[in-house]
Structure 1
């Protein structure tokens, strides 16, 4: 059907719209991508989770566990590396993560209210340390049985 349409005939019936003026875009809001907590606490979490994998890998040595343990370690590293890279991709917003000293001095605002620095660090590290302790307990139980 399109072969029967002539260009001139289409042009006669076409409606030409006026040009649309594009308004300038407003400035993007400033976004804090620092996650605010000190990097040392994230490093301690990674160390505890990798310690969990290491303790189980050494304590329960088996050729069949090499690949799963490597995969677990990869996911732990990726789970912390990807957000760390994401924080550096943002344009310079001026927001920096707190140092441990600043956290201990000022504390941090949470969804449920203000939290002292030491309390926030303990809350952040309780689960990773318990998981590491669980791995140590599993290896001790396996060694004694």
Structure 2
């Protein structure tokens, strides 16, 4: 339940202190915008999603699918284009994405431990590749029926 407090009651119990000294402004924090993985993995992921659309669009082509497919392609371009632009927003940043050579030599550190380049590639591309295989399965089933 609430209780009305008068100014006198608040003034009796309040801790009045002097104005704090101005604190020196800290240096800006370096933000890591690199996502660390080589850009080729992101390109491969986007290519798998676009391959899924291409397989279905060519197999089930219809004039009514032109606009939905264009919207989906635009969304995929945005989903990969915005983060790519975001990584270039801090030109003075020392952090860059790993080169393919660095990635193949050292792998990548994750929250659950270190992954080799092959393990990280499989972990990142397993779903996009399965989606492409799913599109091929759909087309195969539709052709056989």
TM-score by length of 2: 0.82
Structure 1 position 131, deviation (Å):
0.2
Structure 2: distance between partners of 1:55 and 1:101: 32
Unaligned runs of 5+ in 1: 1-20
Partner of 1:69: 69
Partner of 1:53: 53
Could you list the runs of 4 or more consecutive aligned residues of structure 1 that deviate by over 6 angstroms after TM superposition? Answer: none
Q: Is 2:135 aligned against 1:135? A: yes
- Partner of 2:33, secondary structure, is coil
Q: Is 2:85 aligned against 1:79? A: no
Q: Could you list the per-position Cα deviations for residues 19-67 of structure 1 after superposition, in whole angstroms to 9, with x for gaps in the alignment?
A: xx86552111111100000000000001000000111100111111111
Structure 2: distance between partners of 1:64 and 1:121: 36
Alignment of 1:11-50 (within 5 A): 24-50=24-50
Structure 1 position 85, deviation (Å):
0.3
Unaligned runs of 5+ in 2: 1-20
Partner of 2:4: none
Partner of 1:97: 97
Q: How many residues of Structure 1 are paired with residues of Structure 2 in the alignment?
A: 126
Q: Could you list the per-position Cα deviations for residues 105-144 of structure 1 after superposition, in whole angstroms to 9, with x for gaps in the alignment?
A: 1011001111111100110000000001101111111122
